A and B are shown apart, each in its own frame.
Chain A
Amino acid sequence: MTSSEAKAAELFIERYRVGPTDVTKRIERAVIGGDWGANGYTTLAQARKLGTELGLGPGARLLDLGAGQGWPGVYLATATGCEVVLADVPTEGLRSAVARARAEGVAARAVPVSASARRLPFAAGTFDGVAHTDVLC
């Protein structure tokens, strides 16, 4: 990990430790059209586009790399009915993602895995789609 990557990782951990709050959700709704704890550039329309491009629907298996607090992986499970594996290194964000999945009623279809995107602990051919958005890799 380079020094800039380490610094970026520290910033993310700081965010996840705090978690989504009223002020951050209000800004996020205005900026990207959602309140999923996102801090990147993937708008609601762009998240929907991922679902379309990957042909997601009930029964489809999605891997979301760098899943953060659930944007867009948990959103896509909610919106399309797909199953999602949420992979990320900081477990702080995944805890928020799982809490959101529970609140959305999709916890049975949203599984968190603490893993690096470079060494994925899955058998070959496990997924129908792989998505990521502005991940640090």
Chain B
Amino acid sequence: MLRASRRVLRPGGRTAFYTIHPAAGLTPAQRRRAARSGAPAVSTARPYQDLLAAAGFVRVQRTDCTAAFAATAQAWLTGWDASLAGLAALYGEEFVAERQRRRRIQLRAIGDGLLARSLFTATRP
């Protein structure tokens, strides 16, 4: 996807994206738990800085947003918990319960330092 992004950008064009990824310096077992706890994209094996460079981008920068990620994840969990009946009427109880279960798993992984979220920016030369 990063290579496709570079191709459709004009020279000097920029990409900017937020993504959830494993924290730096994890053991293999911790990485596996991080991957299980986040979105499928979390399973990427290499740091995004390397992937962007390999895709031909320059001026690659990362800004950590993990604190905001934890706050937003907690707010979704709390907000849904406060409206369970209304949400179950929309989506069904099973869907709502599964979403909340996954949110709790993700919050634990953030709290344990396994999952991070960052803003990446890079320029097409």
A contacts, CB < 8 Å to B? 2, 4-5, 8, 11, 14-15, 18, 21, 23-24, 26-27, 30-32, 39, 41-43, 46, 49-50, 53-55, 63, 65, 117-120, 122-137
B8 touches A122 (CB 8 A): yes
B119 touches A136 (CB 8 A): no
A136 touches B39 (CB 8 A): yes
B39 touches A8 (CB 8 A): yes
B83 touches A23 (CB 8 A): yes
Q: Which residues of A contact B15 (CB under 8 A)?
A: 54, 129-131
Q: List 20 contacting pairs A-B, 8 Å CB cutoff, sorted by A.
A: A8-B40, A11-B95, A11-B99, A23-B86, A26-B83, A41-B18, A41-B69, A41-B72, A46-B18, A46-B68, A49-B16, A53-B121, A120-B8, A125-B8, A126-B10, A127-B10, A129-B9, A130-B14, A131-B16, A133-B17
Nearest residue, chain A, Cβ from B19: A134
